[in-house]
Amino acid sequence: MAKGRVRSRMELREQYDAAEARERASGGAAAGEGDEDLGDLGEDSGAEGKAGKAPAKKKKKTAATGTKTRTKVPKVVRKRVVWVVYDNSNKFVAQFPYPDRAKADEMAERLKTEKKQTYFVQPVKEEIKEEKEK
């Protein structure tokens, strides 16, 4: 852990500003010329960086269009909803078309009374298998 006095940021900023003012007063024109030279180098290096980046973007674009591959479009699978009667352990008992929910509920109730177990009806989506015409 730090021992001694903890400096605040305001004090550090004041010290930095005072040191900068002393440097300006003692250096005068020499400090100003040095700053301009650094600024010119910074601008030149920035321009080189921009010039270096522009061709890279063009290369990426040409490479992307040149190596573009076709993606396989997934086949749309048609589905339908049916009512399925299950027993208490989620075992399939019977299946009914969607408009025949009343029949599915009736069968579940009949099985509950006959076998004294729990049966329930649940909607399930299943794939429609299409036959190929030849």
Query: pLDDT tens digit string along 68-81?
Result: 788 888 888 899 99
Q: What is the pLDDT of residue 66?
A: 59
Q: For 2-49, what is each residue's pLDDT tens digit?
A: 677 777 898 999 999 999 999 999 876 454 444 444 444 444 444 444
Round to whole Å and give the CA distance between 105 and 93.
Answer: 12
119-127 and 92-97 as β-strands: parallel, antiparallel, unpaired? unpaired
Please report, for residues 68, 77, 103, 132, the alpha-carbon distance to residue 99 in angstroms, rounded to integers and kept in the order given: 48, 22, 9, 27
Average pLDDT, the chain: 78
Q: What is the mean pLDDT of residues 85-113?
A: 95
For 9-24, b/e burial (b = at least 16 CB within 10 A) is eeeeeeeeeeeeeeee
Share above pLDDT 70 across residues of the chain, in percent, rounded to a whole number: 66
> Residue 1's pLDDT is what?
54
pTM beyond 0.85: no
Domain ranges across the chain: 12-53, 79-127
Between 114 and 49, the more confident residue is 114
Joined together, the tokens standing for residue 35 give 């700053």
